[in-house]
Amino acid sequence: MRGPELERLYDEHAQPLYAFLLNLTRDEADTRDLLQEIFIKLARDEQLLAAVRDERAFLIRLAHNAAIDLVRRRGTRERTRENFAAESASPFAPASDLDENTFRNELATALAELPAEQRAVVHLKLWEGLTFEEIAAVLEIPPNTAASRYRYGLDKLRGRLRPLYEEIK
């Protein structure tokens, strides 16, 4: 793939891919490695996007697969990291307001405590605005599974954040 085309892809898709990967890995260095891996793949294979209708969905699928591979490759280390998720990189921007900042930190921690498959669905639904059908296509799961994972994930977030939410509402 030529340089300008690669730059266009970066400018259009790198930010959402970064947010998705950071939410899955909770590590800036891993996120950077995976993002670079995706763009190297795109640069090497000119036909990779040739028959793709939805670039964003395709790239998110690449990112998801790369993140899953990373988790498998680093098995023990990753599980250890999950245990210390509260100390990991937050996918949200810091806020100037103290209450808002507290809420974002709690949300980041609660998200990190979700299983990776629920976290991926919640992220794609809430922050990418994908439908369950689109999520199902991206993650290669049935739409009902995507919907149930979202419901379970959101219930856990609500249960975890309810006291804080009520307090600062």
Partner 1 sequence: MKPEDFEQRLQRQPRRQIPAGWRAEILAAANPAPRSASRAPFLSTINSQLSTLLWPHPKAWAGLAAVWVFIFVLNFSMRDKAPALVEKVSPPSPEVVAELKQQQRILAELMGARDALDADRSRPMAPRPRSERPFEVLTV
Q: Which residues of the chain form contacts with partner 1 (CB under 8 A)? A: 3, 6-7, 10-11, 14-15, 18-19, 22, 28, 32, 35-36, 39-40, 42-43, 73-74, 76, 89-93, 104, 107, 126-127, 154, 157-158, 161-162, 165-166, 169
- C-beta of 14 vs 137, nearer to partner 1: 14
89 vs 137 by CB, closer to partner 1: 89
CB of 36 to partner 1, least distance (A): 5
Shortest Å distance, C-beta 167 to partner 1? 11
Of 41 and 140, the one with the shorter C-beta distance to partner 1 is 41
Task: Give least dist CB 22 to partner 1, A.
Answer: 7
Residue with tokens 């996918």: 91
User: Nearer to partner 1 by C-beta: 10 or 141?
Assistant: 10
CB of 45 to partner 1, least distance (A): 11
Nearer to partner 1, 7 or 133 (CB): 7
Reported as half-sphere exposure (CB side, CA atoms, 13 A), residue 21 has a value of 28
Shortest distance, position 35 Cβ to partner 1, whole Å:
6
12: part of which helix (H) or strand (E)? helix 3-25
C-alpha span between 117 and 102 (Å, rounded): 25
Nearest to 37 by CA among 72, 75, 64, 2: 64
- Asked if residue 24 lies in contact with residue 85, where contact means CB atoms within 8 angstroms, the answer is no
| Rounded distance between C-alpha atoms, residue 80 and residue 86, angstroms | 12
Please, are residues 21 and 35 in contact by the beta-carbon 8 Å criterion? Answer: yes
Cα(64)–Cα(38) distance, rounded to whole angstroms?
Answer: 10
Tell me how far apart the alpha carbons of residues 61 and 77 are, in angstroms, rounded to a whole number.
24
